[in-house]
Structure 1
Amino acid sequence: MLLRHGIVYDGGQAWTGAHHAWLARQYLESPATRMAFDAEHETVLVTAARRDRLDQEITKMAAESQFAEVVHRLGCLRGISTLTGFGLAVEIGDWHRFTGDTIGAFVGLVPSEYSSGASRAQGPDTQDRQHPRQAAAGRSRLAPPPGLPHRQDHARSLGPGTGGRSGPRRCR
Structure 2
Amino acid sequence: MRLSELIPAPYRLLAKGVLLVVLAGASAAFAWQLQDWRYGKQLSEQARQHTETLNQLNQASVAQQRAEQDKRLALEQRLATSEQTHYRALSDAQRDQGRLRDRLATADLRLSVLLDATTGAGNGSLSATTATGGVVHGPTRAELDPAHAQRVIDVTDDGDRGLIALRACQDYARRVSTTKLAEDVAP
Larger Rg: 2
More helix by share: 2
More strand by share: 1
Q: Same fold (TM over 0.5)?
A: no
Normalised to the residue count of structure 1, the TM-score between the two structures is 0.27
Normalised to the residue count of structure 2, the TM-score between the two structures is 0.25
Q: Which has the higher contact order (CA 8 A, sep 6+)?
A: 1
